[in-house]
């Protein structure tokens, strides 16, 4: 999965202005370079939101362009909230004619994982999916995600465990791979055991940031995702974008990194 994150520094390095047009041109060039070379694309929505309405319009256009490539589209918007409010996101991302139509979005479950139930059902009813943050690639998240629950259904287990179990409860209703995924960072090392998540029994997709720029390497993928079953989607952004703006170099970097990741997952025992 290629992450498209039009950071200001990257726009400058590529010779683009730090505005909505620059973000759009950057994204279109990344799409051109990755066409046919990646399974999915993930857009970091905050990099567009910073430019206000023009940024949202740019995100609409690059999402449309990605859909024309017949590639899986993910919007990394990191939303969360009360069930009565986040259900409105279905109109933005999931329903036919949605302005930001995407195959999946990312969610933050810290209003309570069950608060997302209505939105998740809207996604599933429209043939879409979600990725829920569980054990993320930023180390400062560990203290919260591995904290022990003091009440509720999963009392005595970690926050991350309860999130994973809630996601799995939706996937149990589906034969084969479900559409309710987890975000599990490639940088977490031994947190997996402490976090109480068994990725080998999880039947949804797993979105994994952290490879490359954040420090995770092939050996980290092998350790963290040992025994998984073809459901890990490793996302890489700056490690590819740093080879731009030349299309040829971007394409070559995409192919090389994709090959390295695939081999690491095969070595981990994942069936891909």
- Look at the alpha carbons of 70, 78, 132, 170 in this order and tell me if their dihedral is positive or negative: negative
User: pTM of the entire structure?
Assistant: 0.95
152 or 53, greater pLDDT: 53
State residue 270's pLDDT score: 58
Q: DSSP secondary structure string, 100-124?
A: T--SEEEE--TT-GGGGHHHHHHHH
What CATH class has 2-267?
alpha beta
Could you read off the pLDDT of 113-146 as tens digits, one per residue?
889 999 999 999 999 999 999 999 888 888 888 8
Burial profile 133-159: b = 16 or more Cβ within 10 angstroms, e = fewer: bbbbbeeebbeebbeeeeeeebeebbb
70 or 195, greater pLDDT: 70
Q: Report the mean per-residue pLDDT for the chain.
A: 93
Domain segments of the chain: what residues?
2-267
C-beta of residue 216 within 8 angstroms of C-beta of residue 187: yes
> Measured at the alpha carbon of residue 116, what is the angle toward residues 1 and 60, in degrees to the nearest 5?
45
Alpha helices in 69-185 (DSSP H): 83-86, 89-93, 117-125, 142-145, 159-171
Could you read off the pLDDT of 22-65 as tens digits, one per residue?
999 999 999 999 999 999 999 999 999 999 999 999 999 999 99
- Given a cut of 70, is residue 271 above it in pLDDT? no
Could you read off the pLDDT of 170-227 as tens digits, one per residue?
999 998 999 999 999 999 877 776 677 888 999 999 999 999 988 899 999 999 999 8
**What are the residues whose beta carbons fall under 8 Å from the beta carbon of 62, sequence distance 6 or more?**
4, 24, 27, 28, 31, 43
C-beta of residue 172 within 8 angstroms of C-beta of residue 124: no
């Amino acid at each position: 999965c290629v992450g498209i994150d039009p950071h200001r520094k990257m726009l400058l390095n590529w010779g683009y202005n730090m505005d909505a047009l620059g973000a759009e041109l950057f994204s279109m060039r990344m799409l051109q370079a990755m066409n046919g070379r990646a399974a999915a694309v993930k857009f970091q929505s905050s990099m567009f939101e910073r430019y206000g309405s023009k940024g949202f319009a740019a995100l609409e256009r690059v999402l449309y362009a990605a859909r024309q490539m017949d590639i899986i589209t993910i919007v990394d918007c990191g939303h969360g909230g009360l069930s009565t409010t986040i259900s409105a996101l279905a109109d933005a991302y999931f329903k036919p004619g949605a302005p930001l139509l995407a195959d999946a979005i990312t969610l933050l479950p810290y209003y309570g994982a069950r608060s997302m139930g209505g939105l998740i059902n809207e996604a599933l009813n429209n043939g879409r999916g979600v990725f829920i943050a569980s054990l993320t690639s930023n180390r400062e998240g560990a203290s919260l995600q591995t904290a022990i629950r003091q009440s509720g259904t999963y009392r005595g287990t970690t926050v991350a465990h309860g999130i994973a179990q809630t996601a799995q409860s939706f996937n149990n209703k589906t034969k084969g791979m479900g559409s309710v995924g987890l975000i599990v960072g490639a940088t977490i090392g031994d947190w997996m055991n402490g976090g109480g998540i068994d990725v080998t029994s999880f039947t949804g997709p797993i979105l994994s940031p952290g490879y490359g720029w954040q420090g995770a390497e092939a050996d980290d993928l092998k350790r963290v995702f040992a025994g998984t079953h073809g459901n890990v989607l490793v996302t890489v952004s700056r490690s590819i974008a740093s080879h731009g703006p030349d299309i040829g170099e971007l394409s070559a970097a995409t192919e090389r990194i994709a090959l390295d990741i695939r081999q690491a997952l095969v070595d981990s025992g994942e069936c891909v």
